[in-house]
Structure 1
Amino acid sequence: MAKEISGWSTCDYNHNVTFFYNLVGKKISEEWTTRDSVVIGLGLTVCLIVVLANLLVMVAIFMNQRFHFPIYYLLGNMAAADLFAGIAYVNLMLNTGPWTSTLTKEQWYIRGALIDISLTASVANLLAVSVERHQSIFTMRLHSTMSKRRVVLVIVCIWAVAIIMGLVPSTIWNCECDLKDCSTVAPLYSRRFLIFWAVLNLLTFFIMVAMYTRIFIYVRYKSRYASRHTSEMRHNQAVVNLMKTISMVLGAFVICWTPGLMTLLLDGLLGKDSNANSYEKFCLVIAECNSLVNPIIYSLRDDEMRMTFKSILCCLCRRNAGQQRERSPVETFSPEPKETLVCVQKSEDQTACMERNNKEDSWTMQGL
C-alpha cells in the first residue's frame, strides 16, 4: 500500500501506456468492432482528401504569379499545416483502438505531438495573417510590402514554435512524476499543460477576432468616402473581398477547434468529473473537418484560385491520357509552364482566361 501511495508522488518511468489509461479510467478496446472499422475507413478517406486538397492549394499558389504576395504565402503555409494535420490524423487512426496498448510511450507522445504541431502551426499562421492584414489595410494597400525574405523568416518561426509546443508534453510537462495530474482525454499529458495550451489558443482566437473586427470597421469607414467611379473604390472593394475570404477561414477555424479546446480546458479543470471521454471523439472529428474547409473556401470565393485549380487538374488529366499513347521525348519533357498554358488555353474557360490576361495589371479580385 505504501508503495502504491509513493507512486503518486515520485517519478517512475517504467509505467507503460496501458497503466496510464487504467489510472484515469479510459478504456482501451480489446478488439475491433464494426463501428471502429467504419470510423477508421471514413477517417482515412477524409484524410486522403485533406492531403490532396491542401496540396492542390500549395501548388496553385506556387504556379500562379498573381499569388506571389505575402498574404498568399502565409495562406499557402496554412495549407501546409492542414496537410500536416491530415498526416497527423492518419497516424492517429493507425495507432488507435486495440493498437493503443501496443504503443510505447515514445510512440504515444509522437502521436499527440503531431496533432499539437499542426494546431499550433495553424493558429500561428492565422495570427501572422492578421498582423499582415492589419499592416497593409491600415495603409490602404491590397498587399503589404513585406519582403520575401521576411515572409520566409516568419514561416520558419511559425514552424519552430509549433515544433517546440509539440515537444513540451513529452519532455518537460507531463504527468509521469505527478500521477494525480494526469488528463482523462490524453492520459500521459498534464492537466495543467492542457489548461495552459487551451487558454493560450482561445486567447489568440479572441485577439484575432477583435483585430479583424477593427479592420472591417476601418475599411467600411474608408469605403464610404470613396467614389464609385474611381480606382480607389475598386481597390477598397478588393480589400473587402479579400478580408471576407480570410475572415471565413478564421471563422471556420474557430468553429471547428473551439469545441476541442473547450473539452481540453474542462478536462484540465475538472478531470474525471468533466466526462470528457464521452464526447472527445466528436470534437476530434469536427477539428479534422477544418483541414478540408479552407480549400473549399478558396475555390468558392476566389475566381483566380478556382481557375488555377482547373488548369492544374486539366494538365494532370491530359498528362495521364498522354501516358497511354506513345509520345516523343520532346513532348514528355516539355517545360511545365508551357504545358500549363496550353491546358488553360484549351479549357472550356478559354474566353474568360484570355480576357483576364488582357486586362490591366491592377488585380481587383472581384471573384473573392
Structure 2
Amino acid sequence: MAMESSLWSTCDYSHNVTFFYNWVGKKISVVWTTRDFVVIGLGLTVCFIVVLANLMVMVAISMNHRFHFPIYYLLGNMAAADLFAGIAYANLMLNTGPWTSSLTKEQWYIRGALIDISLTASVANLLAVAVERHQTIITMQLHSKMTKRRVVLLIVCIWAVSIIMGLVPSLFWNCECDLDDCSTVAPLYSRRFLIFWAVLNLLTFFIMVAVYTRIFIYVRYQTSYSSRHTSEMRHRQTVVNLMKTIFMVLGAFVICWMPGLVTLLLDGLLGKASHANAFEKFCLVIAECNSLVNPIIYSLRDDEMRRTFKWILCCLCRRGADQQRELSPVEIDPPLPEVEDLGPVQKSEDRAVLTEINSKEDCWTMPGV
C-alpha cells in the first residue's frame, strides 16, 4: 500500500505540453520554417482531396439503390472513417508548428485522439470488408446473409473500438506518471502504448493477408477446374485480374502504413535513439494518403459507382444552368433482379467467374477485395 502511494505521488499533472516536448528533446518551432510550410501544405492538400473523394462515395451509396446491400454499407462506413480522418488530420495541421506550444494538455490529447480514432476506424473497416469478401466467395452466395441489423451492429462495434483506442492514451496510458516512458513522436504518450498500437495494426495486416490469400487460392482452384470447359485465355485473365486487385489492396496498405508503423515501433523500442522525429510527420502524411487510396480501390473500380459519380456531377453542373430540370435519385437504374453488386470489381470479371465457376450451382458474385 505504501509503495502504491509512493508511485502515485510521483505523478505531477501540473506540467504543460512544452515541458514534455523539452523532456524528450522534440523541438517546438518558435518561427515558421520551410519544413513546417511544406508539411502543412501537403497535409491540407491531402485532407481536402480525402474529404471530397470520400464524401462522393457516401453520397453515391446513399442515392443509388443498387448499393443498398451489406458490402456497400461497409464501404460507406469506411468512406465515413476516411472522411473523418481527413478532418482530424486537417485539425492536426492547424495546431502544429509554433501553434503547438499554445495548446493545453486537454487540447493536445483531443488532437491526438481524433487521429487515433479515425485511423483505427479506417483499418478496422478494411478488415471488415476483407472478412465479408471471404464469407461471400467461400460460401458461393449470390447475396450476403448479413442482415441490416448485423451490419449496423458491426459498424457500431467498429466505432466503439476506435473511440476506446483513441481515448486510452488520454485516460490512463500516458507517461505523465513515468517520464522515462515518454514517446519522442507523441511526447505525452507512453512508448508501450505506441508499441501496442503498432503491433495491433501489423496483426490486422497479417490477418488481411491470410484472408485475401485464401480467397485468391480458392478462386484460382475453381477457375482452374472450370477452365477445362472454357478457354485457357479467360481462365488466366480472371486470375490475373483478381491478383491485381489483391496486390492493390495489400500494396496500398503496406506503402501507406508501414513507414508509420515502423516509426512507432522504433520510437517505442529505442526512444530518443530512434531519431523518429526527423521523419514522423511525413510518415503521418503517407498514412493519411491511405484514406484517399481506399475510395479509389474499393469504389472507382466499380462501373456502377463511376456512373453514379457522373450522374451526381452532371446534376451539380446543371443546377446553375437549368434549375427547373432536376433529376431525381429514382432515375438511377434500380438493381437488377438477377445479379447483385456485392463488390467494387469490374462487372466483366464478375460475369467471367459466374460463367466459369457455377455450371451446376447458383450463380455467385466474385467480389472485389
Structure 1's 149 and 138: CA in aligned 2 closer, same or farther, altered over 3 A?
Answer: same
Q: Is the 8 A contact 1:185 1:276 kept in 2?
A: yes
Note the alpha carbon deviations across 1:193-220, whole angstroms, 9 max, x for none. Answer: 1111111110111111012101110111
Q: Which residue of 1 aligns with 2:87?
A: 87
Distance of 1:254 and 1:174 partners within structure 2: 28
Distance of 1:8 and 1:97 partners within structure 2: 33
Percent of aligned pairs with the same residue?
Answer: 82
Q: Is the 8 A contact 2:195 2:265 kept in 1?
A: yes
Distance of 2:24 and 2:7 partners within structure 1: 15
Distance of 1:361 and 1:74 partners within structure 2: 19
- By relative contact order (CA 8 Å, sep 6+), the higher-ranking structure is 2
Q: Which residue of 2 aligns with 1:166?
A: 166
Distance of 2:245 and 2:144 partners within structure 1: 17
Displacement of 1:247 in angstroms is: 5.8
Specify the SS of the correspondent of 2:225. Answer: coil
Q: Which residue of 1 aligns with 2:121?
A: 121
Letter in 1 for 2:70: P
Distance of 1:166 and 1:96 partners within structure 2: 19
Distance of 1:337 and 1:256 partners within structure 2: 35
Correspondence 1:130-209 to 2 at 5 A: 130-209=130-209
Displacement of 1:9 in angstroms is: 7.8
Displacement of 1:321 in angstroms is: 2.6
Q: Is the 8 A contact 2:220 2:239 kept in 1?
A: no
Unaligned runs of 5+ in 1: 1-5, 342-352
Distance of 1:19 and 1:142 partners within structure 2: 59
Distance of 1:102 and 1:242 partners within structure 2: 50
Specify the SS of the correspondent of 1:161. Answer: helix
TM-score (norm 1): 0.83
Q: Which residue of 2 aligns with 1:67?
A: 67
Structure 1's 11 and 301: CA in aligned 2 closer, same or farther, altered over 3 A?
Answer: same
Specify the SS of the correspondent of 2:347. Answer: coil
Q: Which residue of 2 aligns with 1:31?
A: 31
Specify the SS of the correspondent of 1:316. Answer: helix
TM-score (norm 2): 0.83
Structure 1's 143 and 278: CA in aligned 2 closer, same or farther, altered over 3 A?
Answer: farther
Note the alpha carbon deviations across 1:141-161, whole angstroms, 9 max, x for none. Answer: 254211011001000000000
Structure 1's 254 and 73: CA in aligned 2 closer, same or farther, altered over 3 A?
Answer: farther
Q: Which residue of 1 aligns with 2:352?
A: none
Q: Is the 8 A contact 2:184 2:276 kept in 1?
A: yes
Letter in 2 for 1:184: T
Aligned residue-pair number: 338
Pairwise CA RMSD: 3.0
Displacement of 1:253 in angstroms is: 2.3
Q: Is the 8 A contact 2:122 2:291 kept in 1?
A: no
Q: Which residue of 1 aligns with 2:257?
A: 257
Specify the SS of the correspondent of 1:91. Answer: helix
Structure 1's 294 and 127: CA in aligned 2 closer, same or farther, altered over 3 A?
Answer: closer
Q: Which residue of 2 aligns with 1:350?
A: none
Note the alpha carbon deviations across 1:329-368, whole angstroms, 9 max, x for none. Answer: xx6xx67325x55xxxxxxxxxxx8xx9899646682277
Q: Does 1:336 align with 2:328?
A: yes
Note the alpha carbon deviations across 1:246-301, whole angstroms, 9 max, x for none. Answer: 66334312320111011001100000000101111221121121111122224652
Q: Does 1:100 align with 2:100?
A: yes
Q: Which residue of 2 aligns with 1:349?
A: none
Structure 1's 290 and 281: CA in aligned 2 closer, same or farther, altered over 3 A?
Answer: same
Q: Does 1:49 align with 2:49?
A: yes
Unaligned runs of 5+ in 2: 1-5, 350-367
Letter in 1 for 2:132: E
Note the alpha carbon deviations across 1:210-258, whole angstroms, 9 max, x for none. Answer: 121011101110122226889xxx9xx9999678646633431232011
Q: Is the 8 A contact 2:71 2:132 kept in 1?
A: yes
Letter in 2 for 1:60: A
Distance of 2:115 and 2:239 partners within structure 1: 33
Distance of 1:199 and 1:186 partners within structure 2: 17
